[in-house]
Amino acid sequence: MAGPETGMPGESRAESDATPFRPFAGLRVVDLTRVLAGPYCSYLLGLLGAEVIKVEPPGRGETIRRRAGGDPALAEAGVSVAWSTQSANKRCITLDLDRPRGQALFRELAASADVVVQNLRTGSAEKRGIGYAQLSAINPRLVYCAITAYGGNGPRATHPAYDSVIQAVSGLMSLTGLPDGEPLKVGPPAIDYVTGMNAALAVVCALFERSQTGRGRFIDLAMLDSNFALMTSALTLFVNTGRQPSRPGNDAASRAPASTTYRVSDGQFAIAINEEHQYVHLFQSMGLAHLLDDPRFATLADRNRNIPALRAELQRVFETNTAAHWEKVLNEAGAPGGRVNTLAEITAHPQFAARGLFQPVSVEADGRSAQMQLPLAPFSVEGDRGSIRLAPRPVGADTDAVLRELGVDDAELTTLRADGTI
């Protein structure tokens, strides 16, 4: 069972007068995706009310179900934290799409759907008779989102990839790390999740158009393209000037002379000071008002010529106090800054709790159960971030129920299970 829904900060949905934000109630999404990017797209739609039917191979389901981390017993039961992170609100069925009957059942399922999301390699769906042209002939209103590594055309169209490979190929790694160090990847799988967000946005756009035209659309969405979107400023600069930005380390993207990280008495502290009035606030709040009249730092041009000296002046004062002290002093003065937190520190911060980003859920499989905190939508509408109404499900938990809805009787279910189709 799902936990209580999240409402305005500090109150449950039951205490709130707001109407639940479920814009996709009544929408059916068929999710033929695996790992992170595609599942996160359908997860967002499910949080906001859609019925999501997750299709997996028979047997153990997709491999991420058993990815290590969190509760080992739940991982072995096929509901690992890694899988559950983007798998609530999904009815789970199994179909062998290499078998003709499995393909036929998928087409029947798609005929009843509003959206299909898949992340098979380019051309794989068409070989199985479940590509967009084949399904839209059955269901012209279908919105079909194909997520691939490199997109549906170009010399890399059929190449597989994961987040880390895309970070390398896209050039993102060349922009990450210390100026004199080796290229580095971004720590978490950010490309997977931004791809999932972009896919959800594209689906919403196609659904909005369908409300006016009555027809669905084919969406070609590449992880590489989504990564380029994250690199928009650097990539656009290069396309127009041919200049490769150097790796900035901890310097802000603006390359403003003071904007980097500093040692404080209990850790590291980051500031981003881009506007002239922010320099005034910074210097005054740190007891360095005299630097406003120092010819080395009087103007932006002066500061850019004297970056090491400027940072040395700031470092000397920063290290005299704590991150908490500087967060209060600088932000109240209008100079943006904050502690370099660990995950333990930021999740313990009152700001994290105030935003209501996670919902407690009881996850069960094979007689094992555990409480998990699972993420809600990264935005709120009148305090509502969507809700988890169905906990992550074991492999194939809903196969019989969903196929019965398609008219499959008990005798055929027995046959399908015996021959490995489900």
Cα angle 197, 364, 26; round to 5: 45
Instruction: Choose the catalytic residue: 31, 96, 192, 384.
Output: 192
Taking every pair of Cα atoms in the chain, the longest distance, rounded to a whole number of angstroms, is 88
Q: For residue 122, which of 95, 159, 91 has the smallest C-alpha distance?
A: 159
- Note whether 28 and 112 are within 8 A (CB): yes
**Is the sign of the CA dihedral 274, 280, 285, 290 positive or negative?**
positive
In the 8-state DSSP scheme, what is residue 48? T
C-alpha distances out from residue 261 to 29, 66, 257, 306, 327, Å = 44, 38, 11, 17, 13
**Token pair of 34 as six digits:** 């695996």
The Cα–Cα gap between 124 and 160 comes to 12
Distances (CA, A) of 45 to 62, 73, 87, 201: 20, 29, 11, 10
Dig out the tokens for 344 from the structure: 């333990």
The residue among 239, 185, 24, 10 whose CA lies nearest residue 114 is 24
C-beta of residue 386 within 8 angstroms of C-beta of residue 88? no
- The reply to whether 192 belongs to the active site is yes
Q: Which amino acid, residue 23?
A: P
Instruction: Return the active site residues.
Output: 192
